[in-house]
Structure 1
Amino acid sequence: MDRPETTFTLAYVVFALCFVFTPNEFRSAGLTVQHIFSQWLGSEDMGFVQHHVRRSALTALLHCCLPLGYYLGMCVAAPDQDLLRVHRAARGWQLYLGWSLSVLLVGCVLVFVWSRRGWENHPICKALGAHALLRSSWRAVASSINTEFRRIDKFSSGCPSARVIVTDSWVMKVSTYSLHIALQQDCHLTVTGSTQHSLSPELNAPLQILTISVASINPRVQPFHIRLKSTEYAELQEKLHAPIRNAANVVIHLTMSELFLETFKTYVKMNAVYECPSGQVSTGRFTRSSRISMIHLVNVCRNVAL
């Protein structure tokens, strides 16, 4: 039988990975920062920017607590290690405790610095300041974004940790620790690549994911990338004021039918080439025209006695 500390270590590693890279099962169970601390974070619809400023700070702080949480859990899972009495613990555990406390201390100091002067030092607020007019501040930009986010005609796609939002004036990408923002009239969107998935676990159908670069002419705005399904490409275009450039000449499948045909062709190409024996003539019986068929169906099923 496995030792308790080994079982706890494996369980904690899985929990930590799921907490940082939240899967759908954790979201369904409500084990997310947004759900657990919803009262303190406030409503995203009422204050979009303020919500994500607090969410990103709290997320960073909680992630910094994970190493210390493992040590405290091991105090219970492995009482023979005597980890509660630090001076009697093994040298390796003492070093780990010091490192985990340092990580937590850095996280606390970082969040404290961010929160000074009404969160003015937060990276999201600094990013908003790049769009502020003269004699204005990031709060004016935040007010504009909050107002447009409350409208029902915005474009939104993706999971909460990698969501793409497009309003009348803004292109935004929500990530775990930050919020990337670009003004529509100042940015250029370019399709830079795509990935093809033969089967999506969520849709149970073929899936094409597009990678789009968002670059602003404002030198203070850092470029970023967004990812979305090809079937959402047309809806995104309708919300943008300027067309999306396709610099990589990516073939975009806008419908599920196009995705199915592309996936079907891919699997057909994987089949072995049929070598027609000498003297055999194709009758073309599987075609509706008079042309000779270029396909030969081979029965690979075996008769099974019931």
Structure 2
Amino acid sequence: MASEEFIYSLAYLLIAVCVVVPPTEFRSAGLTVQNLLSTWLGSEDVYFIHYHIKRTTATVVVHSLLPIGYYIGLSFVAPDLNLQTPWEANSLWQLYLLASTIYLICASALAVYWKSHKWSCHRIARTLSYHGTSWRAVAAAIDIEFRRIDKFTSGPSGARVIITDSWIMKVSAYNVNVAHQQDCHLNILKSEDHSISHESSTGAQFLTIEVISVNGNIKPFTIRLNSSEYRDLKDKVQAPVVNARNVVITQSLTDRFLDAFREQVAHNPRYHLPEGSVEPDPCIGCMQITSNVKLQKFCEDASQGECVQCYCRPMWCMECMCKWFANRQDQRQPETWMSGKSPCPTCRSKFCVLDVCRLA
């Protein structure tokens, strides 16, 4: 039968790991440093830099409490170890208590040092000072860009990648790496393929990308993201992405379907705009590409099948129509997408891939 000390040690180790690296269940329940101290930390959306300066400081202190917390808890679980009277305890436990106390004191001293001069001594503030004459001005610029809805974000809260119009940032437990887009380039280091993923039934590929700045004061750092997000990252970054090691990047499921969708549409009949009709407007899905597809029933006779004739004028581009179609299929069975049906995004008339026609 397991002893009380073993059961307590195992349970405390599990809790400590969940505190240091919160799993999804802990984050959902709000059992994280940022949620428990949200009143003191303030709003990340409003003051991104100051929020993470406070968060990293609090994280250092909270994590430094874990070793001595284990000692205090064990002193109540196993009173025969004499941990409540350290001078009577085993020398190894005395050494453990001394090391835990010194660790807590050093972490607390570091937190006090970081807070001095209105946080100017914090490592994040020092990093920002390399990007301008005043770290507070740089922080204000980052705060403004972070509030915009078009930023790129990826990863869990403890290892998040954030890319705004001018900045590439990696948020970790104890730091926030910051690089200016115009000063850096990205280098793909390696890829990791996983046949089983909690995000997708078809597995996942993760890319490790190094961010290297020409600013000598900014140390290179790595970011990790799902290959399905690689295209979004390239669209957001201004810096060149170098694949010197020729890493094979697996396309996302949507990208693979888009290729198959395009190939099929290329074989479908073309749609000719009526004479005198106005030129197509920009796609109402992305507002970037001119509408270039029209739904026209060609799969079967007009009175047969589930598909019906759509009378909407061209309002969508190929990519947006493909994404709309894919999102309305069974996500657990991607092999059935090409034979599936979808309602028109405008009038809800049912159509299939054979009914999507390019404009002539």
- Note whether the superposition's TM-score is higher than 0.5: yes
Q: Which amino acid aligns with 1:208?
A: Q
Output the amino acid matched with 1:88: E
**Match of residue 179 from structure 2:** 182
1:34-69 Cα distance to aligned partner (Å, 9 max, x none): 111111111100100001001111101111111100
Measure, in 2, the Cα distance between the counterparts of 1:247 and 1:22: 35
CA contact (8 A) 1:34 1:41 kept: yes
The alpha-carbon deviation at position 30 of structure 1 amounts to 1.4
Amino acid at match of 2:21: F
- Equivalent residue, structure 2, for 1:156: 153
Return the alpha-carbon distance in structure 2 between the equivalents of residues 94 and 22 of structure 1.
30
Range moving further from structure 2, 32-41 or 21-30: 21-30
Secondary structure of 2:242 counterpart: coil
| C-alpha separation in 2, matches of 1:131 and 1:86 | 50
Tell whether the 8 Å contact from 1:192 to 1:213 is kept in structure 2 after alignment: yes
* Cα displacement (A) at 1:146: 0.4
Could you say what the CA RMSD is over the residues aligned between the two structures, in angstroms? 1.5
What's 1:20 paired with? 20
Question: Does residue 8 of the first structure (1) align with residue 5 of the second (2)?
Answer: no
Structure 1 runs (4+) deviating above 3 angstroms are 257-260
Mapped to 1, the partners of 2:32 and 2:256 lie a distance apart of 33
C-alpha distance in structure 2 between counterparts of 1:63 and 1:126, whole Å: 23
Match of 1:226 among 220, 223, 226: 223
C-alpha distance in 2, partners of 1:49/1:55?
Answer: 10
* Separation (CA, whole Å) in 2 of partners of 1:59 and 1:259: 41
Q: How does 1:135-284 map to 2 (within 5 A)?
A: 136-256=133-253
SS of 1:61's equivalent in the other structure is: helix
**Aligned counterpart, 2:84:** 84
Residue identity in the other structure for 1:144: A
Which amino acid in 2 is paired with 1:245?
V
Mapped partners of 2:105, 2:202: distance in 1 = 46
* 1:209 alignment partner, SS class: strand
Q: Distance in 1 between matches of 2:37 and 2:115?
A: 18
Deviation at 1:258, TM superposition (A): 7.4
Does 1:49 find its partner at 2:49?
Answer: yes
Unpaired stretches in structure 2, ≥5 consecutive residues: 258-360
**Native 8 Å contact 1:206 1:256 kept in 2:** no
**TM score, norm. by length of structure 2:** 0.69
Within 1, Cα distance between the matches of 2:203 and 2:35? 31
**C-alpha distance in 2 between matches for 1:131 and 1:67:** 37
Distance in 1 (alpha carbons) for counterparts of 2:254 and 2:194: 14
Secondary structure of the structure 2 residue equivalent to 1:62: helix
| Percent identity of equivalent pairs | 48
The letter for the 2-side match of 1:224 is F
How many residues align structurally?
257
The Cα shift of 1:204 comes to 3.0
Displacement of 1:203 in angstroms is 2.6
Give the whole-Å Cα distance in 1 for the aligned partners of 2:239 and 2:129: 24
SS in 1 for 2:241: coil
Tell me the equivalent position of 2:111. 111
Give distance in 2, aligned partners of 1:99 and 1:245.
45
Q: 1:259 offset after TM fit, Å?
A: 8.1
CA shift, 1:192, in A, is: 1.5
Structure 1 counterpart of 2:174, which letter? Y
Cα deviation for residue 250 of structure 1 reads 1.2
* CA-to-aligned-CA distance 1:72-91 (integer Å, 9 cap, x gap): 10011112222112222222
> Take 2:250 and 2:3, find their aligned partners in 1: how far apart are those partners?
52
CA apart distance, 1:245: 1.5
With the length of structure 1 as denominator, give the TM-score of the two structures: 0.81
Give, as a single letter, the amino acid of the residue that structure 1 aligns with 2:16. Answer: A
CA distance in 2 between counterparts of 1:217 and 1:81 reads: 56
Cα displacement string for residues 129-168 of structure 1 (whole angstroms, at most 9, x for unaligned residues): 1101xxx310000000000000000000001111000000
2:70 corresponds to which residue? 70
Q: 1:100 maps to which residue?
A: 100
Structure 1 gap segments, 5+ residues each: 261-306
CA distance in 1, matches of 2:66, 2:6: 17
- Whole-angstrom distance in 2 between the partners of 1:48 and 1:108: 23
